[in-house]
Amino acid sequence: MISAQDVNKLRQQTGAGMMDCKKALTEAGGNFDKAIEILRKKGQKVSAARADRATTEGIVLTKANDAHNYGVMVALSCETDFVAKNEAFQQLGQTILETAFTHKPATLENLLTLVVEDGCTIQEKITELVGKIGEKVAISAYTTLISEVVVPYMHMGSKLGVLVGLQGSRSAQVIEAGKNVAMQIAAMNPLAVDKHGIDATILDQELAIAREQARNEGKPEVMLDKIAQGRLNKFFQENTLLNQPFVKNNGLTIAQYLASVAPKLTITAFERVCIAS
């Protein structure tokens, strides 16, 4: 006989619904460990059934160490904004972030296999949550950054996160500059730090588009390459971080702004993750 007290105890442990807990305990013959496993399997079934569902809501979380030379960012996605605001979902996101920050797994696959405080892997914790809420949940992004200085930033109600790496100087002013640059990255979404980070196929495509535009405008054929190169330079100004106008002072590029903070200060890399609904 499964008592209401046992059902409530299992519900407190797992967060699953009362009827689900009662069914699991009945199937497990009153064994709590087996009942929890049954609930996890239910979650796995739910997860598989919803594997093709879009996860366009969720949270992006970032963290840097006290030395500000290492940062981590994770995105936990779900199907609805209602679940994204759920306390259990938010707590799971924090657990994943802290676990990634502590253990520094090399890949997302490695992160999913890490064990958290109650002996479950992160993948099992995700599966449990799927079983409770009946909605697809997944880690949609995991990235880290190492640099002389690393500054994290979260924006848009934790739906957009940035890690930016800097080198050339270390100070409180540099960290503040990193925050300003991270906000620039969040707002302007550059493709790369500078032109050397732009894929060659993109450059070829932009040049081809610029030539065709100039040709359609009736420009002389001998001038097309020169005009296209000029328009490519404008593309660099708009899409590479160091060449973008600083949003807080359009009279400076990001490179010039950094130089005003410290002469040798520059950007080594950045990561930007956005959950778009």
- C-alpha–C-alpha distance, residues 268 and 221, integer Å: 39
Q: Check pLDDT > 90 for residue 37.
A: no
Decide if 160 is inside a domain: yes
Residues 95, 172 within the same domain: yes
Residues 6+ apart with CB under 8 A from 172: none
pLDDT over 70, % of the chain: 100
Decide if 250 is inside a domain: no
Q: Check pLDDT > 90 for residue 40.
A: no
Most confident option among 123-127, 219-223, 232-236, 254-258: 254-258
Give how many domains the chain has, as a whole number. 2
Residues 102, 184 within the same domain: yes
Residues 17, 119 within the same domain: no
User: For the whole model, what pTM was predicted?
Assistant: 0.84
Q: Check pLDDT > 70 for residue 82.
A: yes
Residues 62, 183 within the same domain: yes
Q: Check pLDDT > 80 for residue 156.
A: no
Decide if 202 is inside a domain: no
Residues 33, 66 within the same domain: no
Give the per-residue pLDDT at 41: 82
Residues 26, 113 within the same domain: no
The mean per-residue pLDDT over the stretch 135-150 comes to 96
Q: Check pLDDT > 70 for residue 188.
A: yes
- C-alpha–C-alpha distance, residues 204 and 225, integer Å: 12
Q: Check pLDDT > 90 for residue 71.
A: yes
Higher pLDDT, 200 or 52: 200
Higher pLDDT, 229 or 49: 229
Q: Where are the beta strands (DSSP E) in 65-136?
A: 70-78
Decide if 236 is inside a domain: no
Q: What is the pLDDT of residues 1-32, one digit of tens each?
A: 889 888 888 877 777 778 888 999 999 999 98
Residues 68, 187 within the same domain: yes
Residues 132, 269 within the same domain: yes
The mean per-residue pLDDT over the stretch 102-131 comes to 93
DSSP-assigned letter for residue 66: T
Q: Check pLDDT > 90 for residue 183.
A: yes
Decide if 209 is inside a domain: no
What 20-26 contacts at long range (C-beta under 8 Å, 24+ apart), as own/partner pairs, is 20/131, 26/2
Q: What is the rounded end-to-end Cα distance, in angstroms, of the chain?
A: 47
Give the per-residue pLDDT at 57: 94
| CATH number of the domain residue 179 falls in | 3.30.479.20
Decide if 62 is inside a domain: yes
Residues 8, 81 within the same domain: no
Q: Where are the beta strands (DSSP E) in the chain?
A: 57-64, 70-78, 137-146, 149-155, 160-167, 245-246, 249-253, 266-274
Q: Token pair for residue 44?
A: 């796995």
Give the per-residue pLDDT at 277: 60
Residues 82, 185 within the same domain: yes
Most confident option among 17-21, 79-83, 163-167: 163-167
Beta bridge partners of 63: 72
Q: What is the pLDDT of residues 195-211, one digit of tens each?
A: 999 999 988 898 888 88
Residues 132, 153 within the same domain: yes
Residues 30, 120 within the same domain: no
175: domain range? Answer: 57-193+264-274
The mean per-residue pLDDT over the stretch 140-156 comes to 96
The mean per-residue pLDDT over the stretch 43-71 comes to 89
The mean per-residue pLDDT over the stretch 101-128 comes to 94
